[in-house]
A and B are shown apart, each in its own frame.
Chain A
Amino acid sequence: MVISMRMIIKRTYSDDDMNLLFKMIRKKAGRYEKIKHLLHIKKCSDPNLAERYLILTCIMNNGQIDEEVIIEDRKVFNALTGKRMEIIELVNEKGPISVKELAKFAGRDYKNVYDDIMALEKFLIIRAVKVGKERVALGKVRECTLKF
């Protein structure tokens, strides 16, 4: 059976999200010039380098990041429970936000919130990055459309 359902999620990144990405990339890969130099000599031997370069180039030029996620799988609805929708709302309202802080705001157990974040990330509904030892959710879901 051909799947005709399509869920489209539109996410935007606030200044706080951009600052977090900037700091995270600087910490992991170093200064912009260093990344550019490494890209030039290493070419594509590190798959993350080019992505970090594009993100930093955009941020350093005061640009904006727009994201669209396309999901064509009915199983996505299994991932969207009430508690997980609350997590999406909390990330929208308070993000960027760590799993620890999310658990505190939601009044839930850390492990359960962490598992929910991972489940949502597997379906690309949430965007989370590792900052130090913490996992931080960022970006704001602005629109979620269902098309048939």
Chain B
Amino acid sequence: MMILKIKRVFISRGEMIESMELYDQGKLKNYIYAYKVLKGTKWITLVRWDNVESMDHMDIYDENGTLINQVEMEKKRFEDVVKIVRTFRRSIIAVDISNL
């Protein structure tokens, strides 16, 4: 059976980290860990770690949703993603976090 497990961690009002993990027969198939901010009525992704349709990597977007950087990296644990986001918050897009 396929299960999509969504975990949303509240960071501040209008800021969150969302984890989406798709399990097939109990095995993790795809994941997306995204730091999102609420702009008007829409949640905008600023940074995302995922392996959907490609290798493990990190994407950085601007506040209009335009991809500004993509870096290949090993899969991060969700707990580590939460720590990184809590440290940098909205300024995360201006910091080189590829080595963290």
Contacts and interface: CB of A to CB of B under 8 A. Distances in A.
Contact of B4 (A64, A122, A123): A64
Contacts of A55: 4
Interface in A61-80: 61-73, 75-76
Contacts of A22: none
A73 B12 CA distance: 8
Interface of chain A: mostly helix, strand, loop or mixed: mixed
Interface residues of A, number: 38
Interface in A38-94: 39-40, 43-48, 50-51, 53-55, 57-58, 61-73, 75-76
A76 B10 CA distance: 10
Interface string B1-36: 111111111101110100010101000001010100
Contacts of A39: 52-53
A55 B22 CA distance: 9
Name, among A46, A51, A76, A121, the residue most crowded by chain B CB atoms within 10 Å (CB to CB): A51
A54 B2 contact: no
A130 B61 contact: no
A105 B42 CA distance: 26
Interface string A22-45: 000000000000001001100111
B2 A58 contact: yes
A69 B45 CA distance: 18
B4 to A, nearest CB: 4
B4 A47 contact: no
Contacts of B56: none
A24 to B, nearest CB: 14
Return the 6 tightest CB-CB contacts between A and B, nearest first: A63-B2, A47-B45, A50-B52, A58-B4, A71-B10, A67-B6
Contacts of A61: 2, 24
A118 interface: yes
A54 B1 contact: no
Nearest to A11: B6
A61 B36 CA distance: 27
Contacts of B97: none
B84 interface: no
Contacts of A48: 45, 65
A50 B41 CA distance: 20
A135 B41 CA distance: 9
